[in-house]
Chains A and B, each alone.
Chain A
Amino acid sequence: MGETHSLEDRFQAFVEAENKVEPKHWMPDGYRKTLVRQISQHAHSEVVGMLPEANWISRAPSLRAKLILLAKVQDEAGHGLYLYSAAETLGTSRDQMIDDLLSGKAKYSSIFNYPTLTWADMGAIGWLVDGAAIANQVMLCRTSYGPYSRAMVRICKEESFHQRQGYEIMMTLAKGTKEQKAMAQDALNRWWWPSIMMFGPSDDNSPNSAQSMKWRIKRKSNDELRQEFIDKTVAQAEFIGLTLPDPDLKWNAETGHYDFGEIDWTEFFEVIAGNGPCNAERLAARQKAHDEGAWVRDAATAYAVKQAARKPNPSTQTHAA
């Protein structure tokens, strides 16, 4: 009896030995479901995340800034695609995921439900929002699911440009006129708290975290990641002479970390529940893009079918059905 191990036990030992799980491996249903939810949410976040920044492409202050912003938004689309592909290896379909996003069934990061009011918001998003995302994504490079891990490695390589370009925008504004510096400070004031909420609820209020850590999907807890991010960001803000909007923020020599003020979790859960400043606008924009792109998808399909019919070689036929 001592020698019989359930599939679950063997799976647990497999991930604890730092093995990567691949699509064809046996995995517990819960593991598969958790990953489909997490990876698709992550993909949706990349895709919806294009919207707040797209808002400023046509009003970027220089051609250089515009080219950079375009490249960044294009990266986000690419990141969404890597992640949708990773989720599909678990047996869900792209169409199902898109439907779930558009119907409001699937979530995406709460941060993208805040508006981008000034050019400085492009700086704050790159520096803080992408910075927070990187902290999470660097940890996920070591996730136990192979395709997710590989997507994360590729994304991390590309994200660092995002954070640096954001910080550069903030630095430029902070060194500028009084008004420009005030604009940077205002953006920091508005984005700071939502950014540190991105790591999710605190550990004692995050019921799924423990199981995810056990399965090696997550490698660090929400609070650990948040603390690391805050510790890193304080000096970056000081360097450009901006103030993080938290009067309780102070160095704690005993813990070796910064103490910080209470997070307004009511706001976080309100935004998650769909009551943030831009939830409806974001979904409407996605729905509009989906609807207005329908004829392009139809035309591409029709063209492929026609071309395949003309070609004598059957090996290039499409599987439109």
Chain B
Amino acid sequence: MSQASHQWPLWEVFVRSKNGLAHKHSGSLHAPDAEMALKNARDVYTRRSEGVSIWVVPSSSITASSPDEKDPLFAPSDDKVYRHPTFYDIPDEVGHM
């Protein structure tokens, strides 16, 4: 029980499933340091050849946007339809563009 007051820090685990693809969030785990976090991540998240590379990041280092500000944060990209190729009418005769 003596350890109850200092729980190991939380780490977020990102796994690259194969070379050429980006690392993707797999989950999280507790570990005393980065090295142990990597070893634990190997055992917890890649028991079936799920990855060729692992990143571990202290959860406390991640700054996340808040869902409450989702609308104001992302609204500017919603009203710019001209950023999408389908906005433009190009005659079929021109061919694929």
Chain A residues engaging chain B, CB cutoff 8 angstroms: 22, 24-25, 71, 74-75, 78, 81-82, 85, 88, 93-95, 99, 150-151, 154, 158, 294, 297-298, 300-301, 303-304, 307-308, 316, 318-321
Contacts and interface: CB of A to CB of B under 8 A. Distances in A.
Q: Which of B4, B6, B47, B64 has the most CB of A within 10 A?
A: B6
A308 B33 contact: yes
A81 B29 contact: yes
Interface string B51-87: 0000000101000101100000000000000000000
Contacts of B34: 316
A78 B43 contact: yes
A82 B67 contact: no
23 contacts: A24-B66, A24-B67, A74-B43, A75-B47, A78-B44, A82-B27, A85-B29, A88-B10, A93-B7, A95-B3, A99-B1, A99-B4, A158-B48, A298-B3, A300-B8, A300-B36, A301-B32, A303-B32, A304-B32, A308-B33, A316-B33, A319-B60, A320-B8
Interface in B1-29: 1-4, 6-10, 27-29
Contacts of B4: 95, 99
A110 to B, nearest CB: 27
Contacts of A294: 2-3
A111 B59 CA distance: 35
Contact of B7 (A95, A307, A308): A95
Nearest to A305: B32
A166 B33 CA distance: 38
A316 B8 CA distance: 14
B27 A85 contact: yes
B64 A24 contact: yes
A94 B43 contact: no
Nearest to B7: A95
Given A25-B67, A300-B32, A320 B27 contact: no
Contacts of B1: 99
B67 A22 contact: yes
B53 to A, nearest CB: 18
Contacts of A304: 32-33, 36
Contacts, number: 68
A320 B30 contact: no
Given A22-B67, A24-B64, A24-B66, A301 B6 contact: yes
Contacts of B29: 81, 85
B3 A94 contact: no
Q: Which of A150, A308, A318 has the most CB of B within 10 A?
A: A318
Contacts of B27: 82, 85, 150-151, 154
Given A24-B64, A99-B4, A297-B8, 19 more contacts: A22-B67, A24-B67, A81-B29, A82-B27, A82-B44, A88-B10, A93-B7, A99-B1, A150-B27, A154-B27, A297-B3, A300-B8, A300-B32, A300-B36, A304-B32, A308-B33, A320-B6, A320-B32, A321-B6
B68 to A, nearest CB: 8
A32 to B, nearest CB: 15
B40 to A, nearest CB: 8
Contacts of A71: 47
A298 B60 CA distance: 22
Contacts of B60: 319
A24 B9 CA distance: 20
B37 to A, nearest CB: 10
Contacts of A82: 27, 44
Contacts of B44: 78, 81-82
A303 B3 contact: no
- Nearest 10 pairs between A and B by C-beta? A304-B32, A304-B33, A319-B9, A300-B32, A85-B28, A95-B4, A301-B32, A320-B6, A95-B7, A24-B67
Contacts of A319: 9, 58, 60
